[in-house]
Amino acid sequence: MTSTDRVSETRPRRVSFEEVRARLGEPEALIKAKVHDRIDRHFRRFIAHSPFLAMATSDATGLPDCSPRGDYPGFVKVLDERTLAIPDRPGNKLADSFRNLAENDGIGLMFVVPGVREVLRVNGRAYPTDEPAVLARMQTEGKDAELALVVEVAEVFFHCGRALIRSRLWDPASQALAEELPSAGEMAAEQMGADVDPAVLENMLARGGVHVERAEPRGVSDTVWLPRRGLRQLRGRRHRRGAGASR
């Protein structure tokens, strides 16, 4: 028996969609009626107040990816009742979403407004653009976006707030959960095997990402680039845990 066979035997039983539908029943007519094919004034206002969204794409094989997007409220622009534009801000440069959309232009968005329990969902097709007239609307803090994603809306609707209510996401007491986790810098240092002070990585992550290149054994020649601050390299340095970020 191969390891793949053993894994298959231990996985839970797969349930068909027909079985799922039989267990859940059919949605009420009112629920089906909430799905629209264009952006009305209520959807537009929600988008104008949203500083955060989750964006789902998938490649040609169906392998999915979900990534966060955020900026000042209203960073996503409504170009018309069937079209949105999302600015692409500097990040880790992996371009996962762009790669996926080049193979499969389907996209799903979930907009969130802090304190509101309902979310707004948008499904459609998307492609990147460098159209100056679109990018000009994306300017923030005096900086233009390099690219934008144009989303052709197929479905748009509000999703009920049960998930946010159950999760207590907007309850200030829930923020205490963050204290139970190691810092992002600590996790990144361990996962990448980087011989760098976690505080330094924390500082880099806050500025838009980290790139680690290692051509030699750990501790001999580790290279870490700090984005947006020129090309700085930390080679062969061992940082004490808890030290401040290099300046």
Task: Examine the domain organization and report whether 131 and 235 are in the same domain.
Answer: no
Per-residue H/E/C for 184-230: HHHHHHHHHCCCCCHHHHHHHHHCCCCEEEECCCCCCCEEEECCCCC
Minimal CA–CA distance to 57: which of 129, 141, 123?
A: 123
Give the CATH number for residue 151: 2.30.110.10
How many separate domains does the chain show?
2
> Is the alpha carbon torsion for 122, 125, 129, 132 positive or negative?
negative
Domain ends where: 134, 167, 200?
A: 167
Encode pLDDT of 67-111 as tens digits: 999 999 999 999 999 999 999 987 777 888 999 999 999 999 999
pLDDT bracket for residue 6 (50, 70, 90): low
User: Are both 46 and 129 inside the same structural domain?
Assistant: yes
Of 138, 167, 196, the residue that ends a domain is 167
pLDDT, greater one: 209 or 120: 120
The answer to whether residue 246 scores a pLDDT higher than 50 is no
Tell me the two tokens of residue 60.
């040609």
Does residue 232 lie within any of the structural domains? yes
**Is residue 223 predicted with pLDDT exceeding 70?**
no
Domain that holds residue 196: 182-247
pTM given for the model? 0.77
SS3 143: strand
**Do 118 and 145 share a structural domain?**
yes
